[in-house]
Amino acid sequence: MTSEIKQLQQQLAKFAADRNWEQFHSPKNLAMALSGEVGELTEIFQWLTPEQSELLPEAKKAHLEKEMADVMMYLLRLADKCDIDLMAACQNKLIKNEQKYPVDKCFGSAKKYNEL
């Protein structure tokens, strides 16, 4: 895992430990917290057209940054608690996705791999 990500995970673990929050941070609870934050991120975009979402005004972009940070931090807490190397997991999944979505079969198509 990248040292920056590992370092952030350690900062987040310390933040929780300092506040005696470990008791709340079961993977189940962290999954719920992650999902709640994604709900807040979703709200930013819900009434925007796809085109508007490409050109967020400054205030919305600042809001988005905060929500994305919350999502990322719960994701890293979860990875830490479940002893998952998130960057390695991404590389593994990317290899799988390359097999599931060969360029010639899915070019320009939004179909799921099992519908191709």
Residues of span 57-96 touching a copy of itself by CB under 8 A: 61, 64-66, 68-73, 75, 78-79, 81-82, 84, 86-87, 89-94, 96
Binding of a copy of itself by 13 (CB under 8 A): no
Q: Is 10 in the site for a copy of itself (CB under 8 A)?
A: no
Q: How far is the CB of 22 from a copy of itself (least distance, A)?
A: 10
Give CA–CA dist 84/30, Å, rounded. Answer: 14
Distance CA 100, CA 34 (A): 27
The CB-of-99 to a copy of itself minimum distance in angstroms stands at 12
Distance between CA 79 and CA 90 in Å, rounded? 12
> What distance in Å separates the CA atoms of residue 70 and residue 41, rounded to the nearest whole number?
9
The structure tokens listed for 34 are 């992650």
Exactly one of 5, 13, 63, 100 binds a copy of itself (CB under 8 A); which one?
5
